[in-house]
Amino acid sequence: MGRHQRAETSGLISFILCLMVAAVSMTVFMDNASAIWLVTRRVFIVGSGVVALCGVLSFIVGYSRRSKSLTLGQGWWVPIRRIVEIIALSVVYAATIFLSIYALLSIMNDMMGVRIFSGYIPWVCGIFAGVAGYITFVQADLMDAKTIASLLPLFVMAGVSTAGLTTDDPYWWHNNFSQLGDRTTFAARMFNSTLILAGICIVIISYFAISELRATHRMRLAWSRAHRPAPQIDDAPQASGEVAHFSMRTILLTALLICSGIAFIGIGSFRYSPHPILHNVFARGLPGIMCILLIGLPWLAPQLSRAMYVISDLGIVLCAVAGFVWLEGANTLTNVEALAGLIFLGWFIVFSRQIAAIEADRVQAQMVYIQSSSESPHRDDPLMVESRLAADQ
């Protein structure tokens, strides 16, 4: 069997194991838990946690089993860095699975009713855990930047939707999104937790994106020095050779991406009522960071396509128009915030997929190099820069 077929087969085994573990765990919990823990929302929290745990364990096993970095052969720093990267990716998967499963359980409960649905919870959680185990194991074995980027909107939409549906303030949207999280209720905690996790995930994904830009840059320099044609990216200026002031551009791009993630974390961590100043610093600072990042993108990341720059400028224009309409009194601040948040998250997903496309072009060029090379390439060959996300590193 080839690599992909082995990954699918191992994923099926993970499906069965996760299904049985989650079903048995939830059955034992519901048979032995005290009455206060059998409240619907707490049961859903436990069930979502069990499913998330199964999915994350499946991911760790699938991602670590072929890794060549978890030894001391390359020094002590390499395995430590790899462990930190595995933990970071696990956080992304745990957040996505937990919030998505909680939203699904809530929807199913509303459709079937508490009395009927409670009897199905152990096996429903088991099926969800099996699916999560299967998907995470296969994705771990075939990990790339596009996979990571596709996870971000899932739990953001799941968390915000669940918070909006469970809030006891049906008129929160008349004001702004801060009002949805400006309470001590379950819905407010769900909303704030979603923002915090979204910020953490943005920081984590940014780390891998910047790592890929650096890896591609190193390979292009090595390619140029070896007098080989560098991989070309459509419409990208300076597609080969050295980008002027690359380190400075990368540092600034990293700082802006991390600051945007920190802004999400700050908005969720500091509710408006007890911390109005801190909340406004993060909430009002995020649009400023977005503007600088999107407008300065052609200089910060010249490796991207021109279409990406046009999309970034269009996003700024749409937010500006929405803000002007709000100032005229023809729109709500909630709509403006929702539009800005969706545009930024959508832009971030497209940005990550652009990075993934750059990685795919680099890997394809390296495959051509391997086939044309008269000698077997070595891992320390500068022309053979590896992907930071690859499971076998």
The single-letter code of the amino acid at 220 is R
Task: Give CA–CA dist 38/34, Å, rounded.
Answer: 7
Is 90 exceeded by the pLDDT of residue 252?
yes
Task: Give CA–CA dist 349/215, Å, rounded.
Answer: 20
Please give the structure tokens belonging to residue 362: 């680099």
At residue 162, the pLDDT reads 73
Question: b/e map of 173-184 (b: 16 or more CB within 10 Å)?
Answer: beebbbbbbbbe
**Range list of H helices, 142-171:** 145-166
- Look-up: residue for tokens 């407010």? 188
- The region of weakest confidence among 45-59, 88-102, 183-197, 304-318 is 183-197
CA distances from 247 to 218, 250, 254, 363, 388 (A): 11, 5, 10, 23, 18
With CA atoms as reference, report the closest residue to 218 among 239, 249, 241. 241
Is 90 exceeded by the pLDDT of residue 127?
yes
- The region of weakest confidence among 184-188, 207-211, 278-282 is 184-188
Mean pLDDT value across residues 190-199: 84
Confidence of residue 49 (pLDDT cuts 50, 70, 90): very high
CA atoms within a 13 Å half-sphere pointing along the CA-CB vector of 1: 8
Task: List pLDDT tens digits, range 288-344.
Answer: 898 899 999 999 988 888 899 999 999 899 988 888 888 887 777 777 777 888 788
